[in-house]
Amino acid sequence: MLGKLDWSAIPFDQPIPLVAGAVVLVAIFGVLAWVAVKGHLPYLWHEWITSVDHKRIGVMYILLASVMLLRGGSDAIMMRIQQAVAYQSQGYLPPEHYNQIFSAHGTIMIFFVAMPFVIGLMNLVVPLQLGVRDVAFPTLNSVGFWLTATGALLVNISLVVGEFARTGWLAFPPLSELSYSPGVGVDYYAWSLQISGVGTLVAGINLVTTVLKLRTRGMNYLRMPMFCWTTLASNLLIVAAFPILTATLAMLLLDRYLGFHFFTNEAGGNVMMFMNLIWAWGHPEVYILVLPAFGIFSEVVSTFSGKALFGYRSMVLATMAICVISFMVWLHHFFTMGAGPNVNAIFGIASMIIAVPTGVKIYNWLFTMYGGRIRFATPMLWSVGFMVTFIIGGLTGVLVAVPPADFMLHNSMFLVAHFHNVIIGGVLFGAFAGFEYWFPKAFGFRLDERWGKAAFWFTFTGFYVTFMPLYIVGMLGMTRRMQHYDVAAWRPWMIIAALGMAVLTMGVICQIVQLVVSIRNREALRDRTGDPWDGRSLEWATSSPPPVFNFAFHPDVRGEDAYWDMKVHARQQSFEHDVPEYQDIEMPRNSPTGFVCAFFATIMGFALIWHIWWMVILGGIGAFATFVVFAWRDHDEYVIPAAEVAAIDRVNIEERRSLVSMAGAV
Amino acid sequence: MAMTATVGHAHADPHHIGVVIEHPGPAPKRIVTAYGFWVFLLSDIVMFSCFFAAYAVLSGQTAGGPKGAEIFEQRNVAIETVCLLLSSFTCGMASIAADVRNRFWFYLGMSVTCVLGLIFLVIEFREFADLVGRGYGPSRSAFLTAFFSLVGCHGLHVSAGVLWLLTMMAQVFAKGFRADVLRRMMCFALFWHALDIIWVGVFSVVYLLGGAP
């Protein structure tokens, strides 16, 4: 009846996951109870859960990422403490628990923090920057988000019901095959990634189509803001790479569930094929994450330097070059496979070549700042901190791209330090910069600067104190994923790293405090202009938060930095007083499709993990029924009458006119 | 507000020499839908290429089991191929019928497509059942694993296509040739033709190359 599921799945003997699970459950039910008692449920359902508005979906993505950041961060804290105390002793974590923690940490941070964070920011911002009303497929967008949430939910369920994979974040066979991992851990891993991967693919298709087919009048390719370009590149990579992940995980699952022999040791299976396939996805994945961050830095640096982006066209070229080359380097993840010197040399050189366009970008940002009037607001701090940090990460990357060096450093802590250097220093700093930069656009008020700066300095310092020692112990020969060790020389560095983790945690706390303080003081921090940073691209041309239709009419773009242009012209010609002709706007209707899909996907995923076959069938029927019901809708759009559009827009125009004329009088 | 509703600026772009073609604005829905679906199909083809790659890597790994040439029946495959290619033609006829809003020919075209698809699936299922019955199931060897997965993945797509096809017919029956139904019909047709293209790959790589002694 319940497949493999019984009471032994719940780890009554292990206090840590049980207590953590209990706390999470209490928190969830507390929030739900509070929402229900206060009567917010209808609001939540109509305005958020069923919303197909790209801005709302973007915000929900970022919320999901932030919650999962706390989860993945707790794992990181536990690992750093374990390695600090586990010198010539077992430490405080049993080995199999520790193995689950590092696997969960990697999986969560990549798939459920970094991915939703950047996809959330792209969702929130790109249609605004393109001057259009929504993404290409709004309902599909909601489906994509909720499937991602399903994946995150399954990972968290594994904390209490059953176990998570102990195989590392990429579940290499043969360790992940049934004979070596008979439990449900790898199945949790594979199904949660499979489901959220579909969500990511959907988001990728959506954003590629949005950028290529939905741009406002006059927005030629070479007038698109840099963030739109990097979004395009990143989502092209998603469309090309995520199907590889889907296929690879499907093969692993077939091996585990039906006794196939893709990656087994026996009957001719080929383990190295898994390496090739998973890294053919995994390497582009790195750039899927970091390219949007590059876009954010481009926007932030140019805005806060008060200058157009230096070398815009070379930036576009560099972005697309990275997009292409990132697909040709996957083998550098396993130089030690034994592919031979020629193959290794070719992939080593290809890997190093990526440093060229990335270097072009760094110089472009520096030259954008050069001679500019720089304001060191929080987003700018994150950007400058990124430039310094990312260069170190990039240089160590070039180092491990040298095959002979890689033979020394492969699977060492040096490697761990390197990729945290680029992922934290690149992706996470970018995500935080984007969060601070676009927060006023999403909610209509700024974040508190003092707490923001404190968060930056703690995180920045904490990052260096944590990860620089890891480079050193890597050089001293420490390999990754060690549960305990006996080498005295490593110990002091591990303790320093643990202290660094404490500083990093302070950064996270500051960020939470910043959010709370800012929400409390939201009246004082209110942004009435819609353009708090004196921005240059179209998202600042509408009010904050933008109306559901974003723009009363499609803006007309006449050059790069569209909104900057408009502002300059407006100052020169005062205002054009002709009242625009408003028209009715058709907007997509809200739909619970995404939520219902995710509901059935969760049931199906859980049932598959535990081999509860009747429930799988139920979930499948439910999914098809959802599809048919969605296809049967008669009215998927509603009309906002022109008069209402005009009324909303007039308020926005009046507000801006008064503010600008005040500024002009000074 | 500097954003005006006026149209038709032919502002010269200083970086360009000559006439600048202005981007006219968001594309119509039909184009957007088709474009998005094309992107999806490309991603689907990437997924198939992984299974093709796996087949190429594992096709020699028979682990003492049968080789391709010993188990493939070219006659069956020929019938399957004819069915599928023909179904693409009838699907095309159904699309044309939908474009000219002719219900009779639409239903007829779709029905024939459905029947041909089902014949294809039945033949494939019998081939699989026969192999499993002889002890040559997918867990026999890595070669058979790759074979069953690649061909089965295509078969799964055809099954989903048949389900979609029936839903399309029901939609036209209930809603008529509405704009959104027509857009879906266009996507369905793209999907069905793409399956054909993939089958040509399967047919060549698995049965023709693998069937050679």
Interval A132-158: pLDDT, tens: 999 999 999 999 999 999 999 999 888
Q: How do the pLDDT tens digits run along chain B, 213 residues long?
A: 344 443 344 444 455 555 556 788 888 889 999 999 999 999 999 999 999 999 999 988 888 888 878 888 888 889 999 999 999 999 999 999 999 999 999 999 999 999 999 999 999 999 999 999 988 989 889 999 999 999 999 999 999 999 999 999 998 998 888 888 999 999 999 999 999 999 999 989 988 887 766
Smallest CA–CA distance from A661 into chain B, residue = B1
Q: Which of A134, A135, A202, A262 to mutate to test the interface with B (most CBs of B within 10 A)?
A: A262
Q: Which of A54, A261, A539, A571 to mutate to test the interface with B (most CBs of B within 10 A)?
A: A261
Tell me the C-alpha distance between A347 and A91, whole Å: 40
Banded model confidence at residue A658, pLDDT cuts 50, 70, 90: confident
Q: First and final CA of chain B: distance in angstroms?
A: 75
Report residue A426 as tokens. 């690149």
**Smallest Cα distance from A520 to chain B, Å:** 31
> What are the chain A neighbours of B39 within 8 Å (beta carbons)?
205, 208-209, 239
Residue pair A537/A561 in contact by the 8 Å Cβ criterion: yes
* Nearest CB to A570; choose among B2, B44, B62: B2
Tell me the C-alpha distance between A464 and A503, whole Å: 10
Q: Which of B6, B48, B50 to mutate to test the interface with A (most CBs of A within 10 A)?
A: B50
Give the mean model confidence (pLDDT) for residues A538-557: 88
Count of A-B CB contacts under 8 Å: 178
B208 contact A CB<8A: no
pLDDT tens-digit map of A252-303: 999 999 989 999 988 888 999 999 999 999 999 999 999 999 999 999 999 9
| Partner-chain contact B9 A653, CB within 8 Å | no
| Partner-chain contact B139 A261, CB within 8 Å | yes
> What are the chain A neighbours of B51 within 8 Å (beta carbons)?
247
pLDDT tens-digit map of B146-197: 999 999 999 999 999 999 999 999 989 988 888 889 999 999 999 999 999 9
Tell me the C-alpha distance between A313 and A255, whole Å: 47
**Smallest Cα distance from B31 to chain A, Å:** 8
> What are the chain A neighbours of B1 within 8 Å (beta carbons)?
570, 575, 652-653, 656-657
Tell me the C-alpha distance between A301 and A319, whole Å: 17
Task: Choose among A163, A186, A164, A191: nearest CA to A176.
Answer: A186
Q: What pLDDT score was predicted for residue B73?
A: 84
Tell me the C-alpha distance between A656 and A649, whole Å: 11
| Partner-chain contact A266 B42, CB within 8 Å | no
| Partner-chain contact A201 B15, CB within 8 Å | no
**Smallest Cα distance from A312 to chain B, Å:** 12
Count CB neighbours of A393 within 10 A: 21
Residue pair A473/A490 in contact by the 8 Å Cβ criterion: yes
**Smallest Cα distance from A211 to chain B, Å:** 10
* Nearest CB to B54; choose among A241, A273, A628: A273
B6 contact A CB<8A: yes
* Nearest CB to B44; choose among A132, A243, A267: A243
> What are the chain A neighbours of B150 within 8 Å (beta carbons)?
none
> What are the chain A neighbours of B167 within 8 Å (beta carbons)?
627-628, 631
* Nearest CB to B1; choose among A209, A634, A656: A656
Question: Crossing angle of helices A429-443/A271-305, nearest 10°?
Answer: 50
Give the residue with greater pLDDT, A544 vs A141.
A141
**DSSP code per residue over A576-604:** --PPP----EEEEPP-THHHHHHHHHHHH
| Partner-chain contact B142 A239, CB within 8 Å | no
Smallest CA–CA distance from B52 into chain A, residue = A247
**DSSP code per residue over A258-298:** H---SS-SSTT--HHHHHHHHHHHHHHHHHHHHHHHHHHHH
pLDDT tens-digit map of A381-424: 999 999 999 999 999 999 999 998 988 999 999 999 999 999 99
Smallest CA–CA distance from A280 into chain B, residue = B50
Q: Which of B43, B67, B143 to mutate to test the interface with A (most CBs of A within 10 A)?
A: B43
pLDDT tens-digit map of A413-430: 999 999 999 999 999 999
CB-based contacts of A572: which residues, under 8 Å, 6+ apart?
none
Residue pair A304/A379 in contact by the 8 Å Cβ criterion: yes
* Nearest CB to A262; choose among B6, B54, B63: B54
Q: What pLDDT score was predicted for residue A339?
A: 85
pLDDT tens-digit map of A162-187: 888 889 899 999 999 988 988 899 99
**Smallest Cα distance from B80 to chain A, Å:** 25
B135 contact A CB<8A: no
Smallest CA–CA distance from A214 into chain B, residue = B26
Question: Per the confidence metrics, is the pTM higher than 0.95?
Answer: no
| Partner-chain contact A268 B11, CB within 8 Å | no
